[in-house]
Amino acid sequence: MWVIYTLNGLYFAALLFLISLGLNIILGVMGILNLAHGSLYAIGAFIAAWVIIAIGMKVPPFFLYVTLLSGLVLAGIVGFLMEKSLIRFMYKRTLEYQLLLTFGVLMLLEDVIKMIWGGQAYYASAPFDLLGKVDIGGHVYPTYFLFVMAIALIAGLFIWLFMSKTKLGIMLRAISLDREMATGLGLDINRLSTFAFVLGSGLAGLAGALVVPTTPALLGFGHEPLILGFIVVVVGGLGSLKGALVGSLLVGFTRSFGIAIFPEIELPLLFLIAGIILVVKPEGLFGR
């Protein structure tokens, strides 16, 4: 069974990594904690489920997996609109206003989701069922979970290459290190901020889309992932990509083994571990 728990831990970690990566990019580049991040995740889940149901079995299987990208695209678009219309006025405001604005957006988006998709659950298990199961060391394991891990790994590598090798990525890192100096260097902060926000939102949407073949999308779908994302960010350190990775693995494994060993208190256990880490290392594992 340990093999399965480990794989489950990796699977949880993969999803959390996508969520917390998005949170962290936005936090690092813009200094804004987006409380509506979970809603973007939910939007990704709903649109992906809706598209998969709509096109059903009429398309070749490969195309079904491409449709998961709809989550990334729609969440990215919503993120774009959000940044352009609201977030952009918040950069110079204090923390209270930044947080409350995104809290307002959260409430707004929750009801917009309700208006569009109603209160019912959306099942879209086709991508999960199609992949079947594989045999790993004598245990059967859903191939789809491995697929999710692969996607997260690719996304992580992509972001890492992007941030360290491309000019755009290096400019984004410059802003997160010192916003004022970056302005002084003549970087177009507005454009770059929009870009970072869209990227972060898209990652949340992608995570939501990847989950929906395994769990039906419901109202309030984004609440728990958001909190887990926070824990990852707190444990890993604010704005640190390495922290997001290690934090995701830690939270993922704690969840997976917690569910197996102490099913009732896996969530409190998680908080307890996060609390201990913070008492020992207040700035998080990789915090600055």
Partner 1 sequence: MGLKQISKNPRWIIYLLIFIALLFIPRMLSIHDLMLFEYGITFAIVGLGFNLLLGYTGLLSFGHGAYFAAGAYSVAMIAKYLPQAYSLEILIPASLFFSLILSIIFGFVCVRHTKIFFSILALSLSMLLFALLFKLYHITGGSDGLRVPLPTLFGMSFKGIRRPEFLSGTYYYFLLGVFSISFLVMRGIVSSPFGKALQAIRDNEVRAELIGIRVRRYRLYAFMISGMFVGLGGALWTFVNGHVTADLSHWVFSGEIVYMTLLGGFGIFEGPIIGAMIFTYLKLYAMGNTQYWMFVIGATLIVLVLILPNGVAGAVSSLWTKVKKKTN
Residue numbers of the site for partner 1 (CB under 8 A)?
27, 31, 33, 35, 86, 89, 93, 95-97, 99-101, 103-112, 114-115, 223, 227, 230-231, 233-234, 238, 264-265, 267-268, 271-272, 274-275, 278-279, 282-283
Provide the minimum distance between the beta carbon of 201 and partner 1 in the complex, in angstroms, as a whole number.
Answer: 17
* Nearest to partner 1 of 73, 108 (CB atom): 108
Contact 218, 121 (CB under 8 A): yes
Please say whether the beta carbons of 72 and 204 come within 8 A. no
Q: Could you tell me the smallest distance in angstroms from the CB atom of residue 105 to partner 1?
A: 7
In whole angstroms, how far apart are CA 58 and each of 55, 61, 125, 126?
6, 9, 15, 12
The DSSP call for residue 59 is S
Minimal distance in Å, beta carbon 172 to partner 1? Answer: 19
Exposed/middle/buried for 115, CB within 10 Å: 0-12, 13-18, 19+?
exposed
Residue 261: count of CB within 10 angstroms of its CB:
11
Closest separation in Å from C-beta 282 to partner 1: 5
Residue 212 · residue 124 · CB < 8 Å: yes
- The type of residue at 192 is L
Q: Which is nearer to partner 1, 35 or 246 (CB)?
A: 35
Considering beta carbons, is residue 64 or 231 the nearer one to partner 1? 231
What is the sign, positive or negative, of the torsion defined by CA atoms of 214, 216, 222, 225?
negative
Nearest CA-CA partner of 255 in 63, 24, 7, 68: 7
Query: Which of residues 31 and 216 has its CB atom nearest to partner 1 in the complex?
Result: 31
Which residue lies nearer to partner 1 by CB, 213 or 243?
A: 243
Shortest gap between Cβ of 138 and partner 1 (angstroms)? 33
Least distance in Å: CB of 45 to partner 1?
18
In the complex with partner 1, which residue's Cβ is closer, 99 or 149? 99
Cα distance from N-terminal residue to C-terminal residue, the chain = 38
